[in-house]
Chain A
Amino acid sequence: MTTQPMTERPTRRAARTQRPAPTTRRGGVRSFVYGVVGVLGELLITLGVLLLGFLVWQLWWTDVEGDRAQAEIVRDLDFVEPAQAAADTGPVVAEPRRDEPPAPMAEPGHAETFATIQVPRWAGEPERPISQGVDRPTVLDVLGVGHYPGTAMPGGVGNFALAGHRVTFGKPFNRIEEIQVGDPIVVRTADTWYVYRATGTEVVLPRDVRVIAPAPNQPGVEPTERSITLTTCHPMFSARERYVVYGVLDYWAPASSGTPAELLEAS
């Protein structure tokens, strides 16, 4: 087989030294292709890192910022302070009143904060501000809970309809699925407490505006009850459906008379 002497086959090193450098044109094309592929790879890696950064921002940082901003809004509200006992023994329990509540306030301007919401079932959750409007950039992403324009105001006959994030941006309605029938939902305006009780929950489609009708789920019907409706996304991290909590007004009380017993029990 080895008719050819080994010596005639050039070694690799010899070949490298003997052969002139590859024609500059072909070598140029090759290194150009490698360069492009390399840059493309680096760009893709960069894109991946940026996407990861977006997740961190969306899932963690918006909560940090949202919680801080919403707590500050609540702190800065110029609401009537509930009565305290004379000897500083703690807050006074507000006397529930089931007579005609004061006339509901007029709807405020867009993005104006006019009330707060607390759900004692969500132990550990802070008091959240309620602002006018339900669009994301100016209300839900920055101010917490939003009030559907055109729906009733707190304590009014009709449907006081609210929307809030379930995840991200402070996630005020994160624990909405914990609410059970009969649970209090406490709304506070500048001078009045409104204690609603949950009457039911439902998962609906995003187009089901019936849930915020003046008489919930009865569009076109003249309302007789003082209702509240909370809407948020469902399932979490999805826009496929909406989780809805219905409630009706149980009682009201002037803020100056004390604090609702439901809130005192929770804390």
Chain B
Amino acid sequence: MYGWLWRHLPGPWPVRAFLALLLAAAVLAACFLWLYPAVAPYMPFNETTVGE
């Protein structure tokens, strides 16, 4: 999977490494912005209220 990605990134290895880092940062940013906030309410900890 990552081998395939590496082979399909253009340029010499420093460019590829930079692009790979950029991709990883983009994925992480997307997680922080959308994925994690979306799943957080379903986590089984962190309930602070009393109720039925």
* Chain B hits for A42, CB < 8 A: 1-2
What 0/1 pattern do residues 9 to 52 of B give for CB contact below 8 A with A?
A: 00000000000000000001001100010011101111111111
Bound-state Cα–Cα, A208 to B51, Å? 7
Which residues of A117-169 are within 8 A (CB) of B? 134, 136-137, 140-141, 146, 148, 163-168
Majority-rule SS of B interface residues = loop
Please tell me which one of the listed residues A39, A54, A137 contacts residue B36 in the complex, with CB atoms under 8 A apart: A54
- Specify which chain A residues have a CB less than 8 angstroms from the CB of B3 in the assembled complex: 38
Please name all residues of chain B whose beta carbon is closer than 8 Å to the beta carbon of A85 when the two chains form the complex: none
Asked if B45 and A207 make an inter-chain contact with CB atoms under 8 angstroms apart, the answer reads: no
- Residues of chain A whose beta carbon lies under 8 Å from any beta carbon of chain B: 38-39, 42-43, 50, 53-54, 57-58, 61-62, 134, 136-137, 140-141, 146, 148, 163-168, 173, 204, 206-209, 211-212, 231-233, 237-239, 242, 244
- A-B complex: 9 closest residue pairs judged by Cβ atoms: A239-B47, A57-B36, A163-B49, A42-B1, A232-B48, A134-B49, A163-B48, A233-B48, A39-B1
Q: List 27 A-B contacts (CB under 8 A).
A: A39-B1, A53-B32, A53-B36, A54-B31, A54-B39, A57-B31, A57-B32, A57-B36, A62-B40, A134-B48, A136-B41, A136-B46, A148-B49, A163-B50, A165-B48, A206-B47, A207-B52, A208-B50, A209-B51, A211-B50, A231-B50, A233-B45, A237-B46, A239-B44, A239-B46, A242-B49, A242-B50
